Amino acid sequence: MPRINGLEACKLLKQNQATKHIPVILLTLRAEESFVRQGHENGCTEFLTKPVKDQGLIAAVKTHLGE
Protein backbone atom coordinates (compact mmCIF):
# COMPACT_ATOMS: atom_id res chain seq x y z
CA MET A 1 0.00 0.00 0.00
CA PRO A 2 1.57 3.27 -1.04
CA ARG A 3 0.71 5.70 1.77
CA ILE A 4 -0.11 3.64 4.85
CA ASN A 5 0.43 0.04 5.87
CA GLY A 6 -2.26 -2.54 6.57
CA LEU A 7 -2.09 -2.06 10.33
CA GLU A 8 -2.69 1.67 9.99
CA ALA A 9 -5.52 1.11 7.50
CA CYS A 10 -7.15 -1.39 9.86
CA LYS A 11 -6.88 1.01 12.79
CA LEU A 12 -8.45 3.83 10.77
CA LEU A 13 -11.31 1.61 9.62
CA LYS A 14 -12.04 0.46 13.17
CA GLN A 15 -11.95 4.02 14.54
CA ASN A 16 -14.48 5.28 11.99
CA GLN A 17 -18.11 4.88 13.06
CA ALA A 18 -19.21 4.18 9.48
CA THR A 19 -16.67 1.39 8.87
CA LYS A 20 -15.91 -0.12 12.28
CA HIS A 21 -18.33 -3.03 11.68
CA ILE A 22 -16.51 -4.18 8.51
CA PRO A 23 -14.43 -7.34 9.03
CA VAL A 24 -10.76 -6.85 8.17
CA ILE A 25 -8.64 -9.77 7.00
CA LEU A 26 -4.96 -8.90 7.04
CA LEU A 27 -2.94 -10.82 4.48
CA THR A 28 0.81 -10.37 4.88
CA LEU A 29 4.24 -11.93 4.73
CA ARG A 30 4.88 -10.84 8.31
CA ALA A 31 4.22 -13.75 10.64
CA GLU A 32 6.12 -12.61 13.74
CA GLU A 33 4.10 -12.90 16.92
CA SER A 34 4.47 -9.18 17.66
CA PHE A 35 3.08 -8.26 14.23
CA VAL A 36 0.12 -10.65 14.62
CA ARG A 37 -0.55 -9.12 18.05
CA GLN A 38 -0.43 -5.61 16.56
CA GLY A 39 -2.90 -6.69 13.90
CA HIS A 40 -5.41 -7.86 16.50
CA GLU A 41 -4.79 -4.80 18.67
CA ASN A 42 -5.60 -2.61 15.66
CA GLY A 43 -8.86 -4.47 15.14
CA CYS A 44 -8.22 -7.05 12.44
CA THR A 45 -10.77 -9.82 12.37
CA GLU A 46 -8.52 -12.44 10.80
CA PHE A 47 -4.76 -12.62 10.21
CA LEU A 48 -3.44 -14.71 7.32
CA THR A 49 0.13 -15.08 6.14
CA LYS A 50 1.43 -15.52 2.61
CA PRO A 51 1.56 -17.77 0.82
CA VAL A 52 -2.08 -18.36 1.60
CA LYS A 53 -3.93 -21.37 0.32
CA ASP A 54 -7.09 -20.57 -1.61
CA GLN A 55 -9.18 -22.65 0.79
CA GLY A 56 -7.86 -20.72 3.80
CA LEU A 57 -8.74 -17.36 2.31
CA ILE A 58 -12.16 -18.54 1.14
CA ALA A 59 -12.89 -20.01 4.58
CA ALA A 60 -11.94 -16.74 6.29
CA VAL A 61 -14.15 -14.71 3.97
CA LYS A 62 -17.08 -17.09 4.44
CA THR A 63 -16.62 -17.02 8.21
CA HIS A 64 -16.82 -13.24 8.40
CA LEU A 65 -19.16 -12.41 5.52
CA GLY A 66 -21.30 -15.51 5.28
CA GLU A 67 -21.82 -17.83 2.36
Which class is domain 6-65?
alpha beta
pTM: 0.83
pLDDT for 1: 73
Mean pLDDT for back-to-back runs of 10 residues, the chain (67 residues):
90 97 94 94 94 93 86
pLDDT for 66: 79
In the chain, where the domains are located: 6-65
pLDDT for 2: 84
On the 0-12 / 13-18 / 19+ scale of CB atoms within 10 A, 28 is middle
d(CA 29, CA 11): 19
